[in-house]
Structures are given as structure tokens and as C-alpha cells.
């Protein structure tokens, strides 16, 4: 039987408030002993039951709420992002696209610290930089407190002919792209299954926070963190089984939707996979580097961004 909020004439919530006002638990032992008539254990059992209830995770939120959250979230507002980081983790995987063989889903995460199984900041640590007058300077402060907790910087490791000429400069990671096999009596004619039997694809969805409409991109992480090995591994998407079907090559980067505000798929109707991959022929095939960036660089870039960034798109 759980401890009751009141025992032997003692109102535990009122006592808890008095303890907090008196300087905390250890400073209030005499007060607790006197108020409970020596039954300190009864009060402590009740207090522990309150802590356990507070630590219980909330139930997963539904897909329609996630869609509404993403379509209305200001990805340039640090306070708004901070308030939604914990919320993003509550959502179940969200279906994005499907064919007769598989469904591709977003496994929400949000923020660099929450995306470490996919984008490991320790992988290729880059000192924070600030840009001024066309020059880039390495900042003296290189501790994590100097780096932005929500955003990542993207840059190509090399520039090759063909493909996309640009990448989003600063992005907010939404989460991992995972897959789920569709039930089928005979999958032999459906093409090979995606790379990882656990459903991982090594792709992450990111939001371009500096472009009008907040476009959504798909980026391949060539150096994912392998949970079984406990270390990062190097993968080339061109040598991995195709994620999007046998006729669609894996790419390193590709824009998915011109605006998360107006183009995000419905929570109740995943888009056809062929529609999602229609533009993959123009996808980038240059490796992309993820890097933590400084708060100063983020602030300067957002200050220079178009004021009505939530509107429009490509």
C-alpha cells in the first residue's frame, strides 16, 4: 500500500513545503521529527513515492500532435526548441513514406546531445569558429558550454562535379530515419531489404534553420556509432544495401521537402516511396561532415537570415 499524503494527523504536502522553506531536508530534521512525532520514516517513504511518480516517463504522444508541433515550431527560437526537446522524445516513430515492401519512419530525437547515437560529437571534434569579414577564426573557448546545444553545422568533406552544389549550413536534427518491413507473403520479388536488420538506415532528418520555410533534408551519416562494437564505424552508402528500393541508389544528401510548415506529410497517410525518392537522382554523393558549432556563429547566422523565414520554401 503506497504511503498516504496524511498520516496520524500530519499533512505531508504541507510539511514538505515547510521543509523547503526551512532550508531543505538536512536542515529540517528536528522539524520533521517534531511534526511527525518521531515517524521520520513515514514521511521519507511518502517523499520517495513522490519522486518515483515524478520520474515516471509520460506516455508516447500521437503522430498528429508531432505534425502540429513541427509545423508550428520556430526552429530559430532557442527557448521554443528547449521547451520541445523533451517532448520530441515522447513521440513514437512517425511514418513518412511507404511502398509494398517497407515503411520509412522518423524516430524523433531532437538536438545534438539527443542525436549522439547517430551523430557522435566526439567523432571528428572541430574547434568552434566565428566568421568575420570573410575570415574564420578558431575561438579560444573550446568547452562544450561554448558550443550550441541544439544545432549542427554541415559541410562537404570534398566537392565533386555534379549533384547538389549546396548544403544547409546550420541544421536542427529531427531524428533518425528507420525502416519497418511490410508484412508480405512473398518478399523475394520486392528487392533487397534495407541495410540493418534492426531497422537503422544511417540517415538522419534535419531542418535547415536559415532558409525560408525551414526545408527538410536527409543526410547520410558515414560514421555512425555502432552500439554492439561501442565505437564509430566508417560506411560508404554506395556499398550498402539500398534503403529506398533496388532502383534508387543511396545518396549522401538530398532535400526532401521545401518547407516543414507546408510540406510535412500527414500523420495518417504516409507518402508513396516513389514520390519521396523522385528527386534522389539529383542527390549529393559527397560525404557530409557533421560538426558542433559555436553559439556565436549560430547567433550571427540567424541574425542575417531572412526575417520571414517561416514563410515560403523553394
pLDDT 10s digits, 264-279 = 998 888 899 999 998 8
Q: Which position has the higher pLDDT, 311 or 62? A: 62
pLDDT computed for residue 68 by the predictor: 87
Rg (CA), the chain: 25
Sign of the dihedral defined by the CA atoms of residues 54, 74, 258, 251, in that order:
negative
Residue 313 lies in a domain: no
Structural domain span for residue 33: 6-55
- Whether residue 125 is found in the same domain as residue 230: yes
Question: Do 206 and 68 share a structural domain?
Answer: yes
Q: What is the mean pLDDT of residues 229-257?
A: 88
Most confident of 96-110, 189-203, 208-222, 294-308: 208-222
Residue 223 predicted with pLDDT over 80: yes
Own/partner long-range contacts of 201-204 (Cβ < 8 Å, ≥24 apart): 201/104, 201/176, 201/177, 201/243, 202/118, 202/235, 202/237, 202/240, 203/176, 203/177, 203/243, 204/115, 204/118, 204/119, 204/173, 204/174, 204/175, 204/176, 204/177
Q: CA-CA distance, 221 to 218, in Å (whole number)? A: 10
Average pLDDT of the segment spanning 225-242: 84
Mean pLDDT calculated for residue range 200-208: 92
In-domain check, residue 274: yes
**Do 200 and 271 belong together in one domain?**
yes
**117 and 13 assigned to the same domain:** no
Give the model's pLDDT for residue 31. Answer: 83
Mean pLDDT computed over every residue of the chain: 75
Q: What is the sign of the dihedral through the CA atoms of 177, 178, 184 and 189?
A: positive
**13 occurs within a structural domain:** yes
Q: 145-149, 162-166, 193-197, 291-295 — which is least confidently predicted?
A: 193-197
Highest mean pLDDT among 23-32, 94-103, 108-117, 190-199: 94-103
- For residue 310, tell me if it sits in a domain: no
Q: Which residues contact 42 (CB under 8 A, 6 or more apart)?
A: 3, 7, 8, 10, 36
pLDDT of residue 214: 92
Mean local confidence (pLDDT), 69-97: 82
* Residue 136: predicted pLDDT: 38
Total structural domains within the chain: 2
270 found inside a domain: yes
Amino acid at each position: 500500500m503506497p504511503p498516504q499524503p496524511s498520516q496520524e494527523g500530519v499533512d505531508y504536502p504541507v510539511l514538505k513545503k515547510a521543509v523547503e522553506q526551512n532550508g531543505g531536508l538536512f536542515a529540517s530534521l528536528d522539524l520533521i521529527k517534531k511534526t511527525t512525532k518521531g515517524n521520520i520514516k513515514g514521511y521519507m517513504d511518502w517523499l520517495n513515492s513522490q519522486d518515483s511518480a515524478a520520474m515516471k516517463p509520460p506516455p508516447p504522444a500521437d503522430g498528429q500532435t508531432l505534425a502540429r508541433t513541427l509545423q508550428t515550431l520556430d526552429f530559430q527560437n532557442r527557448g521554443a526548441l528547449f521547451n520541445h526537446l523533451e517532448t520530441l522524445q515522447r513521440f513514437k516513430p512517425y511514418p513518412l513514406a511507404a511502398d509494398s515492401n517497407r515503411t520509412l519512419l522518423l524516430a524523433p530525437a531532437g538536438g545534438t546531445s539527443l542525436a549522439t547515437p547517430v551523430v557522435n560529437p566526439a567523432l571528428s571534434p572541430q574547434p568552434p569558429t566565428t566568421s568575420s569579414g570573410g575570415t574564420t577564426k578558431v575561438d579560444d573557448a573550446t568547452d562544450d558550454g561554448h558550443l550550441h546545444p541544439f544545432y549542427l553545422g554541415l559541410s562537404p568533406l570534398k566537392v565533386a562535379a555534379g549533384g547538389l552544389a549546396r548544403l544547409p549550413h546550420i541544421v536542427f536534427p529531427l531524428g533518425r530515419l528507420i525502416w519497418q518491413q511490410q508484412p508480405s507473403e512473398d518478399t523475394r520479388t520486392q528487392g533487397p531489404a534495407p541495410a540493418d536488420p534492426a531497422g537503422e538506415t544511417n540517415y538522419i532528418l534535419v531542418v535547415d534553420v536559415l532558409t525560408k520555410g525551414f526545408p527538410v533534408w536527409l543526410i547520410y551519416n558515414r560514421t555512425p556509432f555502432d552500439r554492439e562494437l561501442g565505437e564509430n564505424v566508417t560506411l560508404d552508402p554506395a556499398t550498402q544495401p539500398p534503403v529506398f528500393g533496388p532502383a534508387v541508389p543511396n545518396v549522401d544528401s538530398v532535400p526532401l521537402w521545401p518547407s516543414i510548415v507546408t510540406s510535412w506529410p500527414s500523420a495518417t497517410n504516409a507518402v508513396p516511396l516513389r514520390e519521396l525518392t523522385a528527386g534522389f537522382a539529383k542527390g549529393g554523393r559527397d560525404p557530409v561532415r557533421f560538426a558542433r558549432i559555436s553559439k556565436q556563429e549560430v547567433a550571427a547566422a540567424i541574425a542575417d537570415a531572412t526575417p520571414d523565414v517561416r514563410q515560403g520554401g523553394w
